[in-house]
């Protein structure tokens, strides 16, 4: 250890931080997750706005928002078909984005943890996982209920808000920049509540653009 008292304090502080925070996140994880999300948004846009809805029975009391696009279907029986062609495609796109983002995060975090000489799956990463998973699972169920009852226009804002809450919940166990990203996601989700017809655009900004910006900043700051 360095004999300079100030350097000793810095090293002690750094060791304490590494013992209580998960420091193996890579900026490339954010960048790639943002790219996957933007590609997913493009694919979802095609599915939502370009596909023909031949199999859908749209009632006369269809509501539209802002740009005139139908975002909320008030079905007579109160439910919609979760396994329609459109929904299956959207679920597939979401699953692909989540799988690719998770795989990329695991790959880059494994490399960084190995360079740092620490275990990837330790008590800190376990706490981080639990704290992030709880709001994400709750948000996923909430969004599924919105879809079932036809409130499709509220899904994008809800996803952004719950995702931001998940990041905020886990920010005390990882990089401090998580806190800023969490507030941006929550704020963007709240704003999008007043622009329901444009939810997909806000989704692309929140999960795509913000992740890329965050990843670039992290890559420059920590690598």
- Judged against a pLDDT cut of 70, whether residue 143 lies above it is answered with yes
> For the chain, what is the mean pLDDT?
78
Residue 43 domain flag: yes
Of 197, 198, 165, whose CA–CA distance to 181 is shortest? 165
Residue 159 domain flag: yes
Predicted pLDDT of residue 178: 84
Q: What are all long-range contacts of 43-48, with beta carbons under 8 Å and residues at least 24 apart?
A: 43/93, 44/90, 44/93, 44/200, 44/203, 45/200, 47/86, 47/89, 47/90, 47/93, 48/86, 48/90, 48/200
Residue 8 domain flag: no
Predicted pLDDT of residue 11: 52
Predicted pLDDT of residue 90: 87
Residue 15 domain flag: no
Mean pLDDT to the nearest integer, 82-94: 84
Tell me the two tokens of residue 128: 């981080």
Q: Could you report the per-residue pLDDT of 23-77, keeping only the tens digit for each?
A: 667 788 889 999 999 999 999 888 877 664 444 444 444 444 434 444 443 444 4
Percent of the chain past pLDDT 90, that is, above it, reads 36
Neighbours of 131 (CB within 10 A): 18
- Judged against a pLDDT cut of 60, whether residue 196 lies above it is answered with yes
State the pTM of this model: 0.76
Residue 9 domain flag: no
Residue 5 domain flag: no
Q: Are 168 and 179 in contact (CB under 8 A)?
A: yes
Residue 14 domain flag: no
Please count the structural domains in the chain: 1
Among left, alpha and beta (phi > 0; psi -120 to 50; other), residue 68 is: left
Residue 160 structural domain: 25-222
């Amino acid at each position: 250890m360095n004999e300079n008292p100030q350097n000793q304090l810095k090293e002690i502080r750094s060791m304490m931080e590494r013992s209580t925070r998960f420091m193996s996140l890579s900026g490339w994880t954010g960048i790639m997750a943002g790219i996957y999300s933007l590609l997913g948004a493009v694919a979802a846009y095609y599915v939502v706005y370009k596909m023909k809805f031949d199999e859908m029975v749209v009632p006369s009391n269809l509501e539209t928002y802002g740009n005139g696009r139908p975002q909320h279907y008030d079905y007579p029986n109160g439910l919609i078909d979760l396994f329609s062609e459109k929904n299956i495609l959207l679920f597939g796109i979401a699953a692909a984005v989540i799988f690719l983002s998770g795989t990329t995060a695991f790959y880059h975090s494994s490399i960084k943890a190995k360079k740092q000489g620490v275990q990837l799956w330790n008590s800190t990463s376990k706490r981080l996982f639990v704290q992030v998973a709880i709001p994400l699972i709750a948000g996923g169920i909430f969004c599924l209920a919105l879809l079932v009852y036809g409130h499709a226009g509220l899904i994008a804002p809800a996803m952004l808000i719950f995702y931001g809450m998940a990041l905020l919940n886990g920010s005390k166990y990882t990089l401090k920049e998580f806190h800023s990203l969490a507030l941006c996601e929550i704020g963007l989700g709240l704003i999008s509540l007043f622009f329901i017809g444009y939810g997909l655009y806000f989704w692309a900004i929140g999960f795509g653009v913000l992740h890329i910006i965050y990843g670039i900043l992290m890559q420059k700051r920590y690598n």
